[in-house]
């Protein structure tokens, strides 16, 4: 349908251009042509619809999983989200990409974040604080598309999943780093599903998106679990959500919910696990208190060392390198960027000062980014080594995406 509309639009433009080839007749009677007015699409209306639908769909999911404990409305929310936010609205405005706008607004007073972008960023966080990751359940078109195509959820080992789970945090840190330094919006640039929703775009990203969807057929939400930076952010808030998702108050340890969960967010019981002694527990905690700061320092040093290389993502730094190269060996044919630079009266001293400021910012932000990376890796390793005694199956609030699949499998829930 979109291709047909595009073809019709091109034909209409071609016909209009053909009609303008001949000048309008000049009437001697003094007749004046009326001014043509073209209807402009009311984008404000669609933005309002976007926000209303966003809140409505998250409310439906929250009511379904917290109050009703049912899966069916969540599935239909996924269908609506893919159809509207995905294919109709072409994946924009995107809560995931809004991370970059917020990061830039926090460090650059001259940048004013659009209200709708800020609301798309903050509203899912508010709902997560209240009800858990209801946005991820089916309101996010990226997660909803993976949920719809999922047929079988083959389990990934806990250690492999934990290592892959570091990627979203690294992605989030780099996205904020490049946005804060005004270098690039890498989330929008490397969105694997935007080409699918827009039925065109970078072929490499489209192929990557298709491969993710194929993987989603056999394992639950690979993008959400192992790539999505916004999902990583929401997992922090879901840990402290006020109303948490619960399967049943009378768990019989049948393991059906654990096998049904597509994102491995249900922790098994360890009723017969031998507890370690108090002395062993104290030693473990002391070891963690030593290792974690060391990991943070190592991460900070590595990223600070790499800051100059990372700064080449900034357009001015790349231009600076071209200017220096041209000053050493003048070229007969200049690139477009160099022509614009010299045409505007740019000087080596001026761009050098600018680049030094950029590289200084990169050193600061890269150090912070490295510290956070070390913290994430350290906490992940600690999480793998810590096992808590549980008598029943429990939901991991950070991982749970509120898809409600477990409700259909829980025999105690079906009695209610």
Alpha helix (H) ranges present in 275-334? 278-305, 307-310, 315-328
Average pLDDT, the chain: 86
Quote the pLDDT of residue 360: 95
Q: What is the dihedral of CA 160, 146, 130, 267, to 10 degrees?
A: -30
How many beta carbons lie within 10 A of that of residue 106, not counting itself? 13
User: How many residues would you count in the chain?
Assistant: 416
pLDDT at 83 over 80: yes
Report the range of poorest mean pLDDT among 36-40, 176-180, 189-193.
Answer: 36-40
pLDDT, tens digit (0-9, with 9 covering 90-100), for 387-404: 677 788 889 999 999 998
DSSP bridge pairs for 267: 394
Quote the pLDDT of residue 31: 54
Residue 346 burial by Cβ neighbours in a 10 Å radius (0-12, 13-18, 19+): middle
Rounded to whole angstroms, the Cα distance separating 268 from 253 reads 8
Quote the pLDDT of residue 42: 66
Asked whether 169 and 225 are in contact (CB, 8 A), the reply is: no
Residue 336 burial by Cβ neighbours in a 10 Å radius (0-12, 13-18, 19+): exposed
Residues 6+ apart with CB under 8 A from 125: 233, 234, 237
Quote the pLDDT of residue 33: 52
Asked whether 225 and 231 are in contact (CB, 8 A), the reply is: yes
Q: Which H/E stretch holds residue 257?
A: helix 256-260
Q: Full-prediction pTM beyond 0.75?
A: yes
DSSP state of 132: S
Distance of CA 394 to the CA centre of its chain: 27
Rounded to whole angstroms, the Cα distance separating 360 from 17 reads 52
Q: CA nearest 139: which of 86, 190, 212, 189?
A: 86
Q: Is 4 helix (H, G, I), strand (E, B) or coil?
A: helix
Q: CA nearest 193: which of 81, 278, 36?
A: 81
Rounded to whole angstroms, the Cα distance separating 27 from 60 reads 63
Q: CA nearest 97: which of 276, 269, 233?
A: 233
Q: Is 93 helix (H, G, I), strand (E, B) or coil?
A: coil
Q: CA nearest 351: which of 324, 391, 312, 376?
A: 324
Task: Give the Å distances, CA to CA, from 87 to 7, 58, 90.
Answer: 18, 19, 5
pLDDT, tens digit (0-9, with 9 covering 90-100), for 294-317: 999 999 999 999 999 999 999 999
Residue 273 burial by Cβ neighbours in a 10 Å radius (0-12, 13-18, 19+): exposed
Asked whether 244 and 265 are in contact (CB, 8 A), the reply is: no
| Average pLDDT of the segment spanning 168-197 | 94
DSSP state of 14: H
pLDDT, tens digit (0-9, with 9 covering 90-100), for 377-389: 999 888 877 767 7
Residue 8 burial by Cβ neighbours in a 10 Å radius (0-12, 13-18, 19+): exposed
pLDDT, tens digit (0-9, with 9 covering 90-100), for 320-352: 999 999 989 888 888 898 989 888 888 899 999
* CA angle, residues 122, 98, 360, in degrees to nearest 5: 115
Quote the pLDDT of residue 315: 94
pLDDT at 268 over 80: yes
Asked whether 179 and 405 are in contact (CB, 8 A), the reply is: no
Name the percent of the chain lying above pLDDT 90: 56
């Amino acid at each position: 349908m979109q291709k047909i509309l595009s073809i019709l639009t091109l034909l209409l433009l071609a016909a209009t251009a053909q009609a303008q080839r001949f000048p309008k007749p000049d009437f001697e009677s003094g007749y004046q042509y009326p001014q043509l007015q073209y209807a402009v699409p009311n984008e404000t209306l669609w933005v309002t619809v976007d926000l209303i639908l966003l809140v409505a769909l998250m409310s439906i999911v929250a009511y379904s999983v917290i109050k009703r404990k049912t899966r069916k409305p969540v599935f239909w929310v996924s269908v609506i989200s893919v159809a509207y936010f995905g294919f109709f609205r072409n994946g924009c405005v995107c809560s995931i990409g809004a991370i970059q706008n917020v990061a830039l607004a926090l460090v650059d007073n001259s940048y004013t974040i659009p209200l709708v972008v800020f609301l798309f960023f903050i509203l899912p966080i508010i709902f997560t604080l209240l009800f858990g990751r209801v946005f991820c359940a089916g309101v996010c078109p990226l997660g909803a598309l993976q949920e719809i195509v999922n047929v079988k959820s083959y389990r990934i080992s806990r250690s492999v999943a934990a290592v892959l789970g570091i990627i979203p945090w690294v992605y989030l840190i780099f996205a904020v780093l490049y946005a804060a330094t005004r270098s690039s919006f890498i989330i929008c640039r490397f969105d694997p599903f935007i080409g699918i929703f827009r039925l065109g775009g970078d072929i490499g990203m489209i192929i990557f998106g298709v491969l993710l969807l194929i993987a989603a057929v056999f394992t639950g939400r690979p993008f959400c679990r192992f790539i999505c930076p916004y999902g990583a952010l929401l997992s922090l808030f879901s840990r402290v959500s006020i109303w948490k998702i619960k399967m049943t108050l009378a768990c019989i340890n049948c393991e059906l919910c654990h096998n049904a969960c597509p994102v491995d967010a249900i922790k098994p019981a360890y009723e017969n696990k031998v507890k370690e002694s108090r002395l062993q527990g104290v030693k473990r905690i002391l070891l963690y208190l030593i290792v974690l700061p060391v990991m943070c320092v190592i991460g900070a040093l590595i990223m600070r060392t790499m800051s100059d290389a990372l700064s080449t993502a900034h357009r001015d730094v790349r231009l600076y390198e071209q200017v220096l190269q041209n000053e050493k060996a003048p070229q007969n044919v200049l690139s477009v960027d160099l022509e614009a630079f010299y045409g505007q009266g740019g000087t080596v001293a001026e761009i050098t000062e600018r680049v030094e400021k950029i590289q200084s910012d990169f050193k600061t932000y890269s150090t912070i980014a490295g510290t956070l990376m070390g913290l994430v890796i350290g906490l992940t390793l600690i999480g793998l080594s810590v096992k808590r005694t549980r008598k029943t199956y429990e939901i991991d609030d950070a991982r749970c995406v509120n898809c409600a699949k477990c409700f259909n499998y829980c025999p105690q829930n079906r009695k209610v």
